[in-house]
Structure 1
Amino acid sequence: MDHGAIKSFLLGLVVPLYDSMRIANETEDSRHVQHLQELAIHWACKLGYPQCLSDALTTFHILIAPNVKSSVYCHAIAEGGPTEWAFGWNQFLKSKVASEKEKLLNGLGCSKEVAILTRFLEMAFLPNGEIMRQDSIIAFTSVARNEFGRALAWDFLKNRWNDVYVFDKRQRAKMLRAATSAFSTREDLQKLQLFQQDSTYDMEENVRSVEQVVERTRNNLFWMASNYNTIVKLLEIGQSLKAGQPSQVA
Structure 2
Amino acid sequence: MGKGAMRIDVVTLFPELIENCLRSGVVGRAQERGLLAVRTWNPRDFATDSHRTVDDRPCGGGPGMVMMIGPLQAALERAQDGDGPVRTVYLSPQGVRLTQAKVAQFARGPRLVLLCGRYEGVDERLLAHAVDEEVSIGDYVLSGGELAAAVLIDAIGRLQDGALNDAQSAEQDSFSDGLLDCPHYTRPVRGALGDVPPVLLSGDHAAIRRWRRKQALGRTWLRRPDLLARTELDAESRRLLDEFRREHEAARDQTEAGTRPD
Global fold match (TM > 0.5): no
Q: TM-score, normalised by structure 1?
A: 0.26
Q: TM-score, normalised by structure 2?
A: 0.25
Determine which structure has the larger strand proportion and give its number.
2
Look at both structures and tell me which one has the larger radius of gyration over its CA atoms.
2
